[in-house]
Structure 1
Amino acid sequence: MGIFLREVDIERLPIADEIPSSFLYLVHGTGRTLLLVVLLGIILWQARSLINTVRKNIAALVFTPTGFLMMSAFLLLLLSDVFEKSILGGHYHVFYEELMELNGYFLFLVAAMHLKASLAGLFSHQAEQNTTLNVAAQAG
């Protein structure tokens, strides 16, 4: 949702006249910034219990396929900022900036899907081991 709010200018859409002004305030300018800060605050509040776990395992995360995808996405987003400031890209800097952002966001999506699949596999493997242990304990 944050990417959508950041990238789409709803006030420029042809139907902007039909959208209630209170909604436009939430998705444009100061209202959009406040909404994104609130959303980020909610995410950080929910993640606070995981901070110590992440700190302990950050090196292990970086050297996984998911970590590689996330780092690549982050680097693409940094590169898009270079194009946005017209440091590189010449006349087509806006095209390259948007291309880098699109690819970066796509890699974040792939990383999230890979992480979800990895965790699902891990939990199903653990459940399978627990079932095997329970069957062995009952048989013994």
Structure 2
Amino acid sequence: MNHSLYMRYFIFSLMMLLTIIFAVQVIVFDQAYLYGENELMEDIQLGILLAVAIVFFRLIGEKSWSIVEHSAPSLMLLTNLGAALSISFIIREMSCKDTEVDWLIFFVDGQGYKLLMLLIWVPLLLKAFKFKHEYISIVKKSILSSTALFLMAAVVCLAFSALFDKEIIVVEYFRFYEEIAEINGYCFMLLASMSFRKDMTLAVCRDAKAALESMSSTQESSIVATESRA
């Protein structure tokens, strides 16, 4: 069993464990403060999103896409989009109202948030438009890949969370359901980021078998190098 599969099992187990623990604490023991602003559930969300951002940032360099040099520019940009998405969610989940730092409050909790999102996304989307045909091809080829399925699951969880956030569904502990859905959604984003390199490489690679062998050998070399340093 390879390392990535172990990590998937770990994250799925973590999702179940967090859901059960928080459900018991909130619903059974009435610990409603856990899903309050800047409380434990939001802290966990930020931690998961930070992990997603780190995974994507580690993939931005050309070395990550050396197997598919012909598609490296478009895949690096796609990686940047993934990193930008996680950063956007991090800023969205942050709350700096209690810091009394005016410029930080402006960009995180005020009108500056929209301006910041425009500054992040407009340049990236304009660049992405240049690769639109390649991205359409990638979507067609990877629609049933692990990355795509995990992203779909993340969208479902976040959409479910939005129903509670906008108070379209109002039940007892609806704020808790909003936060736990977000935790699970961000975990699915983390799973998607972990399979992103493999699935995107296979989507653009002409020889899937050779690509898998190359990635496997690269991973083994990395593990050996890490062990030798230790």
What is the aligned partner in structure 2 of residue 2 from structure 1? 88
Whether the aligned pair in 1 keeps the contact of 2:161 and 2:179 (CA below 8 Å) is yes
Cα separation, 2, equivalents of 1:40 and 1:97: 26
Q: What TM-score results when the alignment is normalised by the length of structure 2?
A: 0.47
Instruction: Show structure 2 runs of 5+ residues with no match.
Output: 1-86, 215-230
Whether the aligned pair in 2 keeps the contact of 1:70 and 1:107 (CA below 8 Å) is yes
Whether the aligned pair in 2 keeps the contact of 1:72 and 1:104 (CA below 8 Å) is yes
Query: For residues 55-66 of structure 1, what are the structure 2 equivalents within 5 Å?
Result: 55-66=136-147
Q: How far did 1:106 drift?
A: 1.8
Query: For residues 69-80 of structure 1, what are the structure 2 equivalents within 5 Å?
Result: 69-80=150-161
Q: Match of 2:97, as an amino acid? A: E
Whether the aligned pair in 2 keeps the contact of 1:89 and 1:96 (CA below 8 Å) is no
Instruction: Show structure 1 runs of 5+ residues with no match.
Output: 129-140
Q: How far did 1:49 drift?
A: 2.9
Matched, 1:105 2:186: yes
The CA RMSD measured in Å over matched residues stands at: 2.6
User: Residues 67-114 of structure 1, C-alpha deviation per residue, up to 9 Å, x if partnerless?
Assistant: 111111111111111122334351211110111112112211210121
Distance 1:22 1:89, change over 3 A: closer
Whether the aligned pair in 1 keeps the contact of 2:145 and 2:199 (CA below 8 Å) is no
Q: Match of 2:148, as an amino acid? A: G
Number of corresponding residues:
123
Cα separation, 2, equivalents of 1:34 and 1:56: 32
Q: Please state which structure has a larger fraction of its residues in helix.
A: 1
What is the aligned partner in structure 2 of residue 48 from structure 1? 129
Q: Considering only CA atoms, is the larger Rg found in Structure 1 or Structure 2?
A: 1
Q: Match of 2:188, as an amino acid? A: L
Q: How far did 1:22 drift?
A: 2.5
Query: For residues 93-132 of structure 1, what are the structure 2 equivalents within 5 Å?
Result: 93-119=174-200, 125-126=210-211
Cα separation, 2, equivalents of 1:87 and 1:28: 23
Whether the aligned pair in 2 keeps the contact of 1:9 and 1:28 (CA below 8 Å) is yes
Instruction: Between the two structures, name the one with larger relative contact order (CA 8 Å, sep ≥ 6).
Output: 2
Cα separation, 2, equivalents of 1:85 and 1:26: 22
User: Residues 29-78 of structure 1, C-alpha deviation per residue, up to 9 Å, x if partnerless?
Assistant: 21011101221113213322332112233232221111111111111111
